[in-house]
């Protein structure tokens, strides 16, 4: 192509902006009856018990701190009726704040026995505190211990039971690759947009399902909001999953703050873009600062043939700095012709211990010499990608492997 | 996010942007040669990359060709929907808050040149006779005579949406004629 296509460049710039908001997937009162304002009466069934892997205070998100759990006042009606949607906040042992969304009955968060969940028993099933049967949206707490975070989740069953709760049955969102699984009918899927904008936010404008611009007032000192819309995607489409960011997602079009600042999200005003880069009230957490000299460690790397042109890589190094929260980590990167592979393990590490990375998929590597590195990074912004942090990360050491 | 750790092809945003830089022009040409319309091709390119970004986190590590194959699978699905429905989906773009840029005359001319739409139009002109009357006229006015959809609609006494549908369905009917032409072009690389 001889001529540059300006529109393609502009489109690329738009994707760069969006890509900066990393898609982040983090990855019994049986027999009671309760009344709600919306549903005359709903039977309360067994609590949700499905869990996706063991909890650990030192791994992944960490464990929920029970004293911090609170159901927020914000509610949103479901387009299909029934109990409203609500949101629960908690902090974890690894320095994160998390929002869990579900249906609310009598001041309790849970899921509904519909869409195949709980054999369509029509009951309300409370979601115990700390349960990971549904995916929370988590992000680093800021310096004041406050969570400012925005999330969107595509195509969640109206039951509110997502992929993590498979043991309770239910149809699957299209992001779930489960052999033999049944996709939810699109009428039973919801798109959720929710978050905490902080105490400075005074209003939020979004595009409703009918195309109209609506404004809502974020609630409480958290500036909490929750928008529930019918999903319109076809079952099985890929437009699903959770995204987490410091910046709200479409269909939210603008947020206004107490100081009069109005942050336009779809067509940012250049003069306000700088002020809107960090939302008013957000103070990124402090993390330890290290130099390369403080963290330097020889890196050992070996490879082993795994067949079919793939190679198992084992890399180890000594962690000079401890990892004590989800706000810091070590990452391995291996440069290849089309970018780089990266690996990290979300777990606490004691200072002075040897860390070994080997338990990841065998990599397709052509014969040649490859260079890699171990980097220490910190991440204090919701949804921030490790690679973004790596640009400012601290090099631990480099390694080279030769694939015969 | 667990004790076993997570492997990503960097692969997160940086590699996605690299993928865009590497493949966007090829994809634009891919769509242009199948829709004979630079603006529709840009819209399809934008939606394809938006959907790709939505699925990026679930992409298993693989080589350049595997990633490219995955991307063009999404592209072909978008093309199929466009040819069936006569309109470009924008759902993923809406969810990402991205608006497709407007092409200027220079952009359109550049796409025409890169996709060699002139010679493609000549080839299509010969194939038009195989189409039903409504589709043939819509396609002739839009693709061969390069008239705006509003003019096509006015000339045929139909709505613009119907004009778009007739053109896209006509292109679908001519897909077999288009494909061999495309086969010699690859995907514009």
Tokens 């957490």, residue located: A285
pLDDT at A135: 75
Nearest 10 degrees: CA dihedral of A378, A384, A385, A386?
0
pLDDT at A40: 44
Token pair for residue A48?
A: 């949700």
Looking at residues A164-174, what average pLDDT do you find?
57
Token pair for residue A250?
A: 């479409």
Taking the domain A292-403, which CATH number applies?
A: 2.60.40
Edge to edge, what strands does the sheet with B6-9 contain?
Answer: A394-403, A368-378, A328-336, A339-344, B6-9
pLDDT at A390: 46
* Whole-structure pTM value: 0.66
Q: What is the ipTM of this complex?
A: 0.75
CA atoms of A72 and A84, how far apart (whole Å):
13
Check whether B2 has a pLDDT greater than 50.
no
Check whether B10 has a pLDDT greater than 60.
no
Q: Answer with the residue of higher pLDDT: B159 or B65.
A: B159
Shortest alpha-carbon distance between residue A158 and chain B (Å) = 19
Which residues 29-88 on chain B approach chain A with CB closer than 8 angstroms? 29, 42, 45-46, 49-51, 53-58, 60-64, 67, 74
Looking at residues A68-75, what average pLDDT do you find?
94
- Each domain of chain A, given as residue ranges in start order, spans 21-277, 292-403
pLDDT at A41: 66
Looking at residues A168-187, what average pLDDT do you find?
60
Ramachandran angles phi, psi of A262, nearest 5°: -120, 115
pLDDT at B179: 56
Count helices and strands (H / E) in chain B: 10, 1
Residues of A in contact with B50 (CB under 8 A): 15
CA atoms of A70 and A269, how far apart (whole Å):
36
Q: Which of A1, A4, A5, A9 to mutate to test the interface with B (most CBs of B within 10 A)?
A: A5
CA atoms of B65 and B189, how far apart (whole Å):
13
Q: Which of A130-134, A357-361, B161-165 is modeled with the greatest confidence?
A: B161-165
Looking at residues A82-105, what average pLDDT do you find?
93
Tokens 């309360």, residue located: A44
Check whether B189 has a pLDDT greater than 90.
no
Are the C-beta atoms of residues A239 and A225 closer than 8 Å to each other?
A: no
pLDDT at B182: 43
Are the C-beta atoms of residues A146 and A123 closer than 8 Å to each other?
A: no
Q: Answer with the residue of higher pLDDT: A307 or A319.
A: A319
- Which residues are CB-contacts of A250 (< 8 A; sequence separation ≥ 6)? A207, A265, A266, B94, B95, B96, B97
- Each domain of chain B, given as residue ranges in start order, spans 13-183
Query: pLDDT tens digits for A118-159?
Result: 878 888 999 888 776 677 889 999 999 999 999 888 778 888
Query: pLDDT tens digits for B123-140?
Result: 777 777 777 777 888 888
Supply the Cα-derived Rg of chain B in whole angstroms.
Answer: 18
Looking at residues A24-47, what average pLDDT do you find?
48
Supply the Cα-derived Rg of chain A in whole angstroms.
Answer: 23
Residues of A in contact with B62 (CB under 8 A): 364
Going by C-alpha positions, the residue among A367, A368, A364, A297 that lies closest to residue A332 is: A297
Asked if the C-beta of B145 comes within 8 angstroms of chain A's C-beta atoms, the answer is: no
Longest dimension (CA), chain B: 65
Q: How are beta strands A310-318 and A201-207 bridged, if at all?
A: unpaired
Q: Answer with the residue of higher pLDDT: A101 or A22.
A: A101
pLDDT at A69: 92
Check whether B101 has a pLDDT greater than 50.
yes
Nearest neighbour of A233 by CB, restricted to B55, B91, B102: B91
Q: Could you tell me how far CA A398 lies from the centroid of its own chain? A: 30
Token pair for residue A201?
A: 């936010």
pLDDT at B88: 84
Are the C-beta atoms of residues B182 and B34 closer than 8 Å to each other?
A: yes
CB contact under 8 A, B6 and A27: yes
CB contact under 8 A, A249 and B97: yes
**B61 confidence band (pLDDT: 50, 70, 90):** low
CB contact under 8 A, B102 and A53: no
Looking at residues A221-237, what average pLDDT do you find?
78
Looking at residues A384-398, what average pLDDT do you find?
67
Are the C-beta atoms of residues A267 and B112 closer than 8 Å to each other?
A: no
Asked if the C-beta of B180 comes within 8 angstroms of chain A's C-beta atoms, the answer is: no
Q: Answer with the residue of higher pLDDT: A27 or A57.
A: A57
Are the C-beta atoms of residues B130 and B176 closer than 8 Å to each other?
A: no
- Residue A251, preceding peptide bond in cis (omega within 30° of 0): yes
Are the C-beta atoms of residues B123 and B112 closer than 8 Å to each other?
A: no
Check whether B188 has a pLDDT greater than 80.
no
Nearest neighbour of B5 by CB, restricted to A14, A56, A343: A343
**A233 confidence band (pLDDT: 50, 70, 90):** low
pLDDT at B18: 81
Q: Answer with the residue of higher pLDDT: A116 or A24.
A: A116
Query: pLDDT tens digits for B19-30?
Result: 898 899 999 998
Ramachandran angles phi, psi of B138, nearest 5°: -60, -45
Query: pLDDT tens digits for A195-222?
Result: 999 999 999 999 888 888 999 999 999 9
pLDDT at A376: 92
**B186 confidence band (pLDDT: 50, 70, 90):** very low
């Amino acid at each position: 192509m001889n001529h540059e296509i300006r529109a393609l460049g502009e489109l690329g710039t738009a994707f760069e902006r969006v890509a900066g908001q990393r898609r982040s997937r983090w990855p019994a009162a049986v027999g009671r009856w309760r009344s709600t304002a919306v549903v005359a009466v709903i039977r309360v069934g067994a609590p949700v018990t499905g869990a996706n892997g063991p909890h650990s205070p030192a791994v992944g998100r960490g464990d929920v701190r029970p004293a911090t759990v609170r159901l927020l006042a914000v509610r949103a009606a479901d387009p299909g009726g029934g109990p409203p949607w609500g949101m629960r906040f908690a902090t974890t042992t690894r320095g994160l704040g998390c929002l869990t969304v579900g249906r609310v009955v009598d001041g309790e968060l849970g899921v509904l026995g519909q869409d195949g969940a709980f054999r369509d028993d029509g009951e309300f099933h409370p979601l115990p505190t700390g349960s990971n049967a549904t995916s929370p949206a988590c992000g680093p707490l800021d310096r004041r211990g406050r969570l400012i975070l925005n999330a969107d989740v595509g195509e969640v069953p109206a039951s509110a039971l997502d992929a993590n709760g498979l043991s309770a049955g239910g149809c699957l969102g299209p992001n779930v690759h489960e052999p033999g699984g049944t996709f939810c009918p699109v009428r039973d899927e919801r798109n959720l947009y929710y978050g905490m904008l902080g105490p400075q936010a005074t209003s939020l404008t979004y595009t409703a399902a009918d195309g109209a611009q609506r404004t809502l007032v974020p609630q409480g000192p958290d500036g909490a909001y929750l928008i529930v819309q019918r999903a319109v995607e076809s079952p099985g489409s890929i437009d699903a999953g959770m995204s987490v960011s410091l910046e709200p997602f479409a269909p939210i079009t603008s947020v206004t703050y107490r100081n009069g600042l109005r942050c336009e999200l779809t067509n940012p005003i250049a003069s306000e873009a700088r002020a809107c880069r960090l939302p008013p009230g957000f103070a990124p957490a402090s993390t330890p600062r290290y130099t390369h000299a403080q963290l330097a460690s020889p890196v050992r790397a070996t490879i082993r043939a795994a067949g079919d042109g793939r190679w198992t890589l084992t890399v180890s190094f000594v962690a000079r700095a401890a990892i004590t929260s989800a706000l810091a980590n070590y990452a391995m990167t291996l440069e290849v012709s089309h970018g780089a592979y990266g690996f990290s393990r979300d777990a606490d590490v004691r200072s002075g211990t040897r860390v070994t990375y080997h338990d990841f998929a065998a990599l397709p590597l052509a014969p040649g010499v490859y260079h890699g590195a171990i980097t220490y990074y910190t991440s204090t912004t919701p949804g921030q990608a490790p690679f973004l942090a790596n640009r400012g990360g601290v090099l631990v050491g480099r390694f080279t492997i030769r694939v015969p | 996010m667990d004790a076993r750790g997570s492997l990503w092809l960097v692969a997160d945003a940086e590699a996605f942007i690299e993928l865009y830089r590497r493949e966007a022009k090829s994809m634009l040409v891919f769509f242009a040669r199948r829709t004979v319309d630079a603006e529709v091709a840009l819209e399809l390119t934008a939606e394809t990359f938006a959907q790709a970004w939505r699925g990026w986190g679930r992409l298993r590590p693989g080589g350049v060709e595997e990633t490219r194959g995955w991307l063009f699978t999404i592209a072909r699905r978008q093309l199929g929907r466009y040819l069936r429905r006569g309109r470009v989906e924008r759902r993923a773009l809406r969810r990402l808050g991205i608006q497709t840029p407007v092409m200027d005359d220079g952009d359109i001319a550049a796409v025409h040149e890169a996709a060699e739409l002139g010679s493609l139009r000549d080839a299509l002109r010969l194939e038009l006779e195989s189409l039903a009357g409504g589709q043939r006229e819509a396609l002739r006015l839009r693709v061969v005579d390069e008239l705006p959809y509003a003019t096509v609609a006015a000339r045929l006494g139909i709505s613009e949406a119907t004009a778009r549908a007739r053109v896209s369905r006509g292109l679908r009917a001519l897909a077999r004629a288009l494909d061999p032409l495309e086969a010699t072009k690859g995907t514009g690389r």
